[in-house]
Amino acid sequence: MPRTKIAGIGHHVPENVYTNEDLIKYMDTTNEWIIERTGIEERRFIKKGEDTTTTLAAKASRNACKHAGIEPEEIDFIIFATLSPDYYFPGSGVLLQRELGITKTEIGALDIRNQCTGFIYGLSVADQFIKSGMYKNILLVGAEVHSVGLDFSTKGRNVSVIFGDGAGAVILQPTEQEDQGVLLSELHSDGTHAEQLCVLSPGSHSGMHMPDTDFGLDDEKPIGGYFLSEKILEDGHYHPHMSGKLVFKHAVVKFPEVIKSVLSKMKLSSADLDMFIPHQANLRISQFVQKILGLADDKVYNNIQKYGNTTAASIPIALSEAVQLGKVKRGDLVCLAAFGAGFTWGSTLLRW
């Protein structure tokens, strides 16, 4: 059975840099407060009207194709992970297909909504397609545009200082090389605390706790109007909500747990790792996990300091940078891991 190798990788981030000092103009916070709690010094935001989640993804995808030595027309399946799609529907996968100009082949496009763990989930799905022989060139992309949906006021500062925009992409192909490719992935979820890291509206849940009198409805009429009502706008439920302490508490447990699990199943330990690339959620979480795993600084790659949390895009952006900088080389044992909304978490072990 063939293994799945990353044949090409690329990323793209907007040129527009927003430092912590820039955010201070809009909210009651300080550079020291943000760095102490998140490790973030700056992030990238799109210029309004110039980019979308899909166009960022397309730029990263073209870079990945170039690195793999293929043309976009050779892609036979698309997997798109994002929490910030261009539209509520359709998904961004078909939009990316159109943006890349590969609609004539009518390839399939799959959208994944696993937020911060979207790339890990997508990699696991793609791995099964490659191993089965169904596809030969899968484009897996994680892309986000958070900046258009954040609350840049003091009320929203706990969330809005964290996130940034960007995209990362990989081309996945089969390989018969025993010393290369995806070794193992492990995926988990627990919906107990789903509302502790979420965007509540718009969605079908919006109408559950609102009086019918808001719209003059009765039992004989449908519930139209709940999807994005004035009350939802007033309450700000369309902005991200996060219980930071609870998320941190679970992340620092589940991160090392799932990493040790995949290593153990391959009869390996953290000492065997050449590089650990965590989802860039919070530098403090990454450093805590690094300490638990006993990894030296040169065995962990973090770039949240300059990009913020780009959720589904964070792992492929970080991996792409690490490859470009020569920090990940052929034959290296690499561990990717993520924890995020849902809660969902997972890890992938691969030989570069």
Q: Shortest CA distance to 314 belongs to which of 91, 139, 115, 124?
A: 115
Q: What is the pLDDT of residues 313-351, one digit of tens each?
A: 999 999 999 999 999 999 999 999 999 888 999 999 999
**Does the pLDDT value for residue 133 go beyond 80?**
yes
| Helix, strand, coil % over all residues of the chain, rounded to 5 | 40, 20, 35
- What is the residue-averaged pLDDT of the chain? 90
- Binning pLDDT at 50, 70 and 90, where does residue 199 land? confident
- Binning pLDDT at 50, 70 and 90, where does residue 213 land? very low
Task: Specify whether the CB–CB gap between 127 and 184 falls below 8 A.
Answer: no
**Does the pLDDT value for residue 310 go beyond 90?**
yes
Q: Going from the N-terminus, what domains does the chain have, and what CATH number goes with each?
A: 3-175 (3.40.47.10), 181-195+241-351 (3.40.47.10), 200-235 (no CATH)
Q: Can you read off the two tokens belonging to residue 158?
A: 């706990």
Of the listed ranges 127-131, 153-157, 298-302, the least confidently predicted one is: 153-157
Please list the active-site residues.
116, 279, 309
Q: Among positive and negative, which fits the CA dihedral 208, 214, 219, 224?
A: negative
**Does the pLDDT value for residue 137 go beyond 80?**
yes
Q: Can you read off the two tokens belonging to residue 263?
A: 């290593």
Q: What is the pLDDT of residues 216-225, one digit of tens each?
A: 445 555 555 5
pTM of the predicted protein model: 0.92
DSSP string, 100-152: TT-TTTT-EEEEE--GGGHHHHHHHHHHHHHHHTS-S-EEEEEEE--GGG---
